[in-house]
């Protein structure tokens, strides 16, 4: 089954929820995982089930990176806030590095996320 991780900085959480709602039918066929708060918000505001890792400040992004290294993730949507991200929010650099090493697509914009999800759906 296709496995996708969903992560968002605080300011982008409404955007990832909107995206999850728009792609709910597609995402319902995927095995989803996410950082703590993002995963919780998605499950509260959709009918999707998300395996929640720790919150970003507690290492949830690192837990997801570990799954990438284990070839257990097919793609990641990480809607980040490049202008006002707070120090407690997850840093993308380690996650980006492991995705590059393991050839796993990672989208950081809504447009990129749509391409990623549409591409996975076409497989």
- Its domain, for residue 80, covers 3-122
Q: Is 56 annotated as a binding residue?
A: yes
pTM: 0.93
Q: Is 36 annotated as a binding residue?
A: yes
Q: Is 35 annotated as a binding residue?
A: yes
Q: State pLDDT tens for residues 23-76.
A: 999 999 999 999 999 999 999 999 999 999 999 889 999 999 999 999 999 999
Q: Is 93 annotated as a binding residue?
A: no
Confidence of residue 89 (pLDDT cuts 50, 70, 90): low
pLDDT (0 to 100) of residue 57: 84
| Active-site annotation holder among 18, 29, 61, 118 | 61
What CA–CA distances, in Å, run from 17 to 10, 46, 93, 96? 12, 8, 23, 22
d(CA 52, CA 40): 7
- For the chain, the domain total comes to 1
Report the CATH number that the domain containing residue 69 is assigned in CATH. 3.40.50.1380
Is 61 a known active-site residue? yes
At residue 14's C-alpha, the angle toward residues 35 and 70, to 5°, is 25
């Amino acid at each position: 089954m296709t496995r996708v991780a969903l992560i968002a900085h605080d300011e982008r959480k409404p955007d990832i929820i909107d995206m999850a709602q728009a792609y709910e039918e597609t995402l319902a066929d995927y095995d989803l995982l996410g950082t703590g708060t993002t995963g919780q918000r998605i499950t509260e505001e959709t009918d999707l089930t998300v395996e929640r890792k720790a919150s970003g400040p507690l290492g949830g992004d690192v837990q997801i990176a570990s799954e990438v290294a284990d070839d257990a993730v097919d793609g990641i949507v990480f809607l980040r806030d490049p202008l006002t991200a707070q120090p407690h929010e997850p840093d993308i650099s380690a996650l980006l590095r492991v995705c590059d090493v393991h050839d796993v697509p990672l989208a950081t914009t809504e447009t990129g996320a749509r391409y990623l999800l549409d591409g996975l759906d076409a497989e």
